[in-house]
Chains A and B, each alone.
Chain A
Amino acid sequence: MAFYVVQFLTGLASAASLFLVASGLSIIFGVTRIVNFAHGAFYMLGAFVAYTLTERLSGALGFWGGILLASLAVAVFGVLIEMILLRRIYRSPELFQLLATFGLTLMIEDLVILIWGPDDLLGRRAPGLRGAVDFFGQQVPSYDLFLIVLSPIVLGILWLLFRRTRWGVLVRAATQDRDMVAALGVNQKWLFTSVFALGVFLAAFGGALRIPRDAANHAMDLSVIVDVFVVVVIGGLGSIIGAFVAAVLVSELNAFGILIFPKISIILVFLVMAVVLIVRPWGLFGKPEAPARKTPGLTVQPWRPLSANERVAMIGVLIVAAALPLFGGTYVLTVASEIAIFVIFAASLHFLMSVGGLASFGHAAYFGLGAYGVAFLAKMAGLPMIVCLLIGPLLGLLGAAVFGFFAVQLSGVYFAMLTLAFAQIVWSIAFQWVSVTGGDNGILGVWPAAWASGAAAFYWLSLGVAVLVVAALRAMTFSPFGYALRATRDSALRSEAIGIDNKRIQWTAFVIAGTAAGIGGALFAFLKGSVFPDNVGISLSVDALVMVLLGGVETISGAIVGAIVYKALNIWLVSHTDLSKLVLGAVIVLIVVAMPKGIVGMIETLQARRGRSTKSAMLASRVESAE
């Protein structure tokens, strides 16, 4: 019995950091409507800065002062970021905000390595709380008890802040209706900045408080942000009470999940999340959101199928691509195969996010499932390559069918957070279920059959499959189904009113996209000869998002161009610099701020402008007045 009580207390103590970070995220979202992906990075910074300060400053005062000072310093850093970056994207589509703050995360990750080095740092114990309290023979660290008491105190302070101060009243008003507050003559800019500062302070505080318990490490930003997303999905985005309750719930589920399913403890959290989503899609304490700002909306150029000339040009490009083995050596062909595979991956995400308006932040899950599917079939069942390639992607289909069913119940940022959380669940299973997946060591020796083992043969195979998949997705884009999917994206209200079952259409699209991604993953497994949990990881999911974005979210061929440019750039960058995340993050931020239409979008805009200037001036003026 005492053991369970202690387990419960440990859960409560872990909930403290989670609650601090989640409440910060919720407060920022409530007012600015930005889901700050970089929140995990601020949490990590809090831990590292606190480590340095508590090492330098001595005594109890030095320790606690260091923790507070670190949180304040990170908050100031957050304010700078808000003023430089976020102010430019408050009106952007949600997807862009998520991506920009993710880019920021990548940059901060590399900066932390630059400043603190690559090692984990274990901080000193909290003065006065070094010991443990005996509880019926079980030891409970005093620091845990301190954390358990701290969360409700912070909750109380926040409550007072929002109920009893003028600033708090303004923040609550802005959460209700931010335009109204602007109309009241409140300086909205500084309201946003101060809210952001508070949110970042809470995140950094959560990180700083962790160092006496666990080492500050370089993966803590992403691992906490996934937990936080789960917490806010369960508790309801924008609700502090919700963050508190859900943080406790999730921490307890983790604490006891380990006892019930030691291998895949995360399953329990997933089950609870699924139930909450079905019963209360907006979370336990959340309110239904107004419809999301749509990702499309930068341009109103309707899509059209390729003209005869363009088709001929495409075939020309393909012939050139197919002739590559005549010029390139093994390395070039291997890189080209990888690019072809990523074209498949990007095109599959494009179908979901550009055609369907559903920006998945966890699309790698289905890519990785396809890869694992192939690895299982090839290694365990010993099936021939062709059979593996045909059946392996079905694992991606299966995953997409299960997770997609829940994901399409939501939209906008909720959809993004949920898909990310699902992908993380798949990652955890791949990582933890060592007996089946090999865990961190992956599954090795997934080699292609003899006929496909030459670099040229494998390249032709990848290119051929890529052409088939892209052509099929394109055909679907212009099929009645594709139009129905676009209809659900353009106006959910209208599409339901003309007999379209939005959720069913979106679910189907999710499954199609997941299967296509699985095909890419299946090829990838044979290309690399191995499968690792990284093939399901967040950074791979974000790679796909960046490819689509770079090419142009609102175009049909953007994903392909984006995949080619991005993958080539990425491979080059990784071999030429140690700071690839810093550069990549900066590129993402730059795209969002400076060229949100992407490469193909820019080209189309230029073409349209040239075309339009030749048309009658009357039409042009009419278009402008309609906008």
Chain B
Amino acid sequence: MSAAPVLLVVEGLTKSYGGVHAVRDVSFSLSAGEILALIGPNGAGKSTCFNMLNGQVTPGGGRVRLLGRDTTGEKPRAVWRLGVGRTFQITATFPTMTVRENVQVALVSHHSRLFDMWSSAPKLARDEAERLLDLVGMNGYADRPCGELAYGDLKRLELAIALANQPKLLLMDEPTAGMAPRERVELMRLTARIAREQSIGVLFTEHDMDVVFEHADRILVLNRGSLIAEGVPEEVRRDPQVRAIYLGEGLVYDARHRDGAPA
């Protein structure tokens, strides 16, 4: 593991909105094939972090280095071209297209054919799109209008879209929010498997502690914009500050956890 190249280095990332310090001086790094969880209570600044990493929000301060390149302040589309896939806390897909077409658009973009005005897009990269849909277990849905999918299916579709550019890094903001408990476990196991197989680095947020402790190699804990703990799951679990926050929230995550054990 130690030989894995470093994908992402974040130094002193900061953002404030008016008087609110959404993110304060956050630093961490992430290696290829590593699954890193960013947890914290509501409003801790997790989404703001994600948005700064993929360029949607310009950082107030600090640096982001992706694959050895300084990408601070670059546009989301530039960051994506470097090989970063992103899923959103509230899904963002193309409701007037079919499920397959949603993936095809991402593939067309990946193959740099956005300004191709004469080919027939529904025929382009069809097999590749089918493969990605297969991968996330959506093979039966390819021709369905995306606008009528159930929320859990949309989340899986987002994962397929995020994988379209053969990413080296996945940024997943609450990938399983709004899903049924069983679906959550399945989706995260799937993500973890893909990540391990293709040696993709994953940064994800999750409110479901079962999911976090099952899959994360390391955990970052964010509270009111600042990192208050970082380490392997066992360390974080024992951290008194973290316990205080989470017990305050009424979340219990000690006992009976890892029976299922990582797949």
Contact = CB atoms under 8 A, between A and B. Distances in A.
A487 interface: yes
Interface string B125-157: 000000000000000000001111110000000
A494 interface: yes
Contact of A498 (B95, B148, B164): B164
Interface in B92-107: 92-98, 101, 104-106
Nearest to A493: B92
A483 B148 contact: no
Interface string A485-499: 011001101111111
Contact of B148 (A478, A479, A497, A623): A623
Interface string B53-65: 0101000000000
Interface stretch (A80-88, A104-112, A301-309, A371-379): A301-309
Interface stretch (A213-221, A248-256, A500-508): A500-508
Nearest to B99: A302
Taking each of B54, B101, B121, which has the highest tally of chain A beta carbons within 10 Å of its own beta carbon?
B121
A300 B148 contact: yes
Contact of A484 (B109, B120, B147): B109
Interface string A288-306: 0000000011001111110
Interface string B69-80: 000000111001
A129 B83 CA distance: 72
A578 interface: no
Contacts of B122: 304-305, 478
B93 A483 contact: no
Contacts of B104: 483
Contacts of B108: 480, 483-484
B228 interface: no
Given A493-B92, A496-B77, A626-B148, A486 B117 contact: no
Given A501-B77, A626-B148, A486 B119 contact: no
Given A475-B118, A499-B109, A486 B97 contact: yes
Given A300-B145, A498-B80, A622-B150, A480 B113 contact: yes
A571 to B, nearest CB: 34
A302 B93 CA distance: 13
A30 to B, nearest CB: 21
A497 B97 contact: no
A122 B31 CA distance: 79
Contacts of A238: none
Contacts of A501: 77, 114
A480 B122 CA distance: 8
A360 B230 CA distance: 52
A476 B116 CA distance: 9
B105 A302 contact: no
Contact of A490 (B94, B98, B106, B165): B94
A301 B145 contact: yes
Contacts of A119: none
Contacts of B149: 626
Interface residues of A, number: 38
Nearest to A481: B117
A505 B77 CA distance: 13
A508 B81 contact: no
Contacts of A490: 93-97
A302 B118 contact: no
B114 A481 contact: yes
B242 to A, nearest CB: 31
Contacts of A476: 117-118
B109 A498 contact: yes
Contacts of B75: 496
Interface in B197-253: none
B145 A479 contact: no
A627 interface: yes
B165 A483 contact: no
B105 A487 contact: yes
A482 B86 contact: no
A301 B97 CA distance: 8
A497 B118 CA distance: 24
A297 B75 CA distance: 28
Taking each of B75, B81, B114, which has the highest tally of chain A beta carbons within 10 Å of its own beta carbon?
B114
B96 A498 contact: no
B10 interface: no
B51 to A, nearest CB: 10
B17 interface: no
A484 B150 contact: no
Interface in A445-490: 475-476, 478-484, 486-487, 490
A505 B94 contact: no
B194 interface: no
Nearest to A502: B77
B128 to A, nearest CB: 14
A479 B109 contact: no
A627 B81 CA distance: 34
Given A480-B121, A498-B106, A500-B114, A486 B76 contact: no
A505 B115 CA distance: 8
Contacts of A505: 114
B192 interface: no
Contacts of B97: 302, 483, 486-487, 490
Contacts of B106: 498-499
A475 B92 CA distance: 26
Contacts of A478: 120-122
Given A499-B109, A622-B150, A627-B148, A487 B94 contact: yes
Interface in A598-627: 622-623, 625-627
B124 interface: yes
B92 A497 contact: yes
Contacts of B93: 490-491, 494
Taking each of A297, A301, A500, A625, which has the highest tally of chain B beta carbons within 10 Å of its own beta carbon?
A500
Contact of B117 (A479, A496, A622): A479
A508 B106 CA distance: 19
Taking each of B96, B109, B147, which has the highest tally of chain A beta carbons within 10 Å of its own beta carbon?
B96
B94 A491 contact: yes
Contacts of B21: none
Contact of B86 (A300, A301, A487, A497): A497
B187 interface: no
Interface string B14-34: 000000000000000000000
A307 B208 CA distance: 47
A497 B101 contact: no
Taking each of A487, A500, A622, A625, which has the highest tally of chain B beta carbons within 10 Å of its own beta carbon?
A487
A486 B96 contact: yes
B161 A482 contact: no
B120 A491 contact: no
Contacts of B109: 484, 498-500
Contacts of A554: 96
Given A300-B96, A305-B120, A483-B101, A496 B76 contact: yes
A566 B220 CA distance: 62
CB-based closest 3 A-B pairs: A300-B147, A490-B94, A494-B92
29 contacts: A296-B96, A297-B95, A300-B145, A300-B147, A300-B148, A301-B96, A476-B117, A480-B124, A481-B115, A483-B108, A483-B121, A487-B97, A490-B96, A490-B97, A491-B95, A493-B56, A497-B88, A497-B92, A498-B77, A498-B106, A498-B109, A498-B161, A499-B81, A499-B106, A499-B110, A499-B114, A626-B148, A626-B149, A627-B148
Interface of A: 296-297, 300-305, 475-476, 478-484, 486-487, 490-491, 493-501, 505, 508, 554, 622-623, 625-627
Given A302-B97, A499-B114, 18 more contacts: A300-B148, A301-B145, A476-B117, A479-B118, A480-B121, A484-B114, A490-B96, A493-B56, A493-B92, A496-B77, A497-B77, A497-B86, A498-B164, A498-B165, A499-B106, A505-B114, A626-B147, A627-B148
